[in-house]
Chain A
Amino acid sequence: MTLAFAAALPARGFDVELDVAEGRTLALLGPNGAGKSTALGITAGTLRPHDGHVTLDGRPLVRAEDGRTRTWVPPHARQVALLAQEPLLFPHLSVRQNVAFGPRSQGAARRAADAAADRRLAQVGLAHLADRPPSTLSGGQAQRVAVARALAAEPRLLLLDEPMAALDVDVTPELRQTLKHLLAGQTAIITTHDVLDALLLADEVAVIEDGRVVERGPTPQVLSRPRSAFAARIAGLNLLTGVWTGGGVRTPAGEMVHGHDPGDGLAAGAPMTAVFRPAAVSVYLDERHGSPRNTFRGTVRSLEPRGDLVRVRTDHLAADVTPQAAAELSLTPGTRVWLSVKAAEVDVYPG
């Protein structure tokens, strides 16, 4: 295994064991204050554990016993890069200089560092912005530059601390796709509130509650059969599988699902999954038309309260609507409805 993590910080009620295998991505799920950031902090070297150890590729990064640090590798020597909620691009450096920062700091010549930067910028599709100052970028662009910068440092381990949390919802699918590509083969840990991130980006999921790992396993398994309260609460996504047709995903039932373009290189007939949130689904009594929409026929099977909303379940999909909407539509089990979701709200990925 690549990363072995077992650390306790009693002052924060934190006691967690984790491991991440070479080239795999682990998602840390959990509510605010559960200890996700503490785990990242101890791994990155911004926090000292009271007890325990962190080992990367067999090299101890930190080892502590009863408050005494026995081994300590400073953050800069850990080969652990950090991507935070906010891009935190150095405002006094150009986009290229930002991305070249890691290679330069590790001793690369300016020319080589710039070349590496340009390569990484091309990977996130922002090569044309290389000479711009960060202040001129949009939030989504800045975060993609931050991703390029973190990867340009060639880290053994990449830590992503809720990388989408500070972004507008309409740019997160794009960044998610970018990360999906770039995290392939990269050992990484991502903390998130969002089950979509886990589903799309992570091979494995660990759910942390109150500083303890309460559940862990392969992502599909944890999300389809959640055992912890948190996993159960965040699961319940609409998930449709099918094959790639070039423009969308065709389900075995013959429904076409259009979503965010997953990128080039997909052969027709490849197995695909489309995912979207119940909250993104609208319910109608008649069919709606409009190019960016996907519509699905269904019969209401159940209605259940879910916070301020009502969850409407059909045979294979779920929609969250307001109680007013449920009343206006006179929804009851047995009502025939059309479910509609914008293509922009649908994530499509291979697998």
Chain B
Amino acid sequence: MRKHRRKHVAAGIAALAVTVLAGCGTSATGDDGADGDTTTLTVFAAASLQGSFEDLAEQFEDAHDGVDVRLSFAGSSDLVAQVQQGAPADVFASADTANMDKLVADDLVGNPQDFATNTLEIAVPPDNPAGVETLADLAAPDVKLVLCAPEVPCGAASAKVEDAAGLDLQPVSEEQSVTDVLGKVIAGEADAGLVYVTDVAAAGDDVEGVEFPESDSAVNTYPIAPVADGGDEQADLAQQFVDLVLSDDGQQTLAGFGFAAP
């Protein structure tokens, strides 16, 4: 599992590098279609979609001869900033509606459609040293709890859940990203952390997930949309990719990574 992930990361970095380099050119997309045989579809996706979208991209390439899907993963807000600066994206998949709305407001994307949801889960080290069973257990003073900072989406979701449950959580650290929270739990530095279901799934045996009913109060919805820029052919291809994500096959792939249907 871990080896697999590392390969994905490498692929993601390579894709990003290519994207950045391509961004230096004058034409936005499909500029390497010059050889006439391959068409490139560039997909910008939230970092949490990495595993699932790599699978989806493979499926898409299998189904479309001569199409090369380039994936670029980063934080949703970073990707929005890149698209606003004219980065060559054909499809944008966001981890939240707020970031997608920014591009909608700028008229840079087509009609967004929700394609997945994600909810929070408690991540604990495999041996669960603090014996965490419920959300309320996190409020115990001797539990070293790590959350996302309220400034970032997962932290906002955590705050929502906290409010809904009427709890006052005292984290020992408010991390920058889900990855950082997960890292602290995996290392055993923290007894528990609030992360997304998909993150627990991706971490495999390194952490254990504890579901809790209050997670319903903060459901994160993932919208996807074709980026308005680009020729007809590109727009067509982009729409086809969006359709794949929304199809039964696509939904099944996403479910395999822990996402729920919208």
Complex contact flag A–B (Cβ < 8 Å): no
B interface, CB within 8 angstroms of A? none
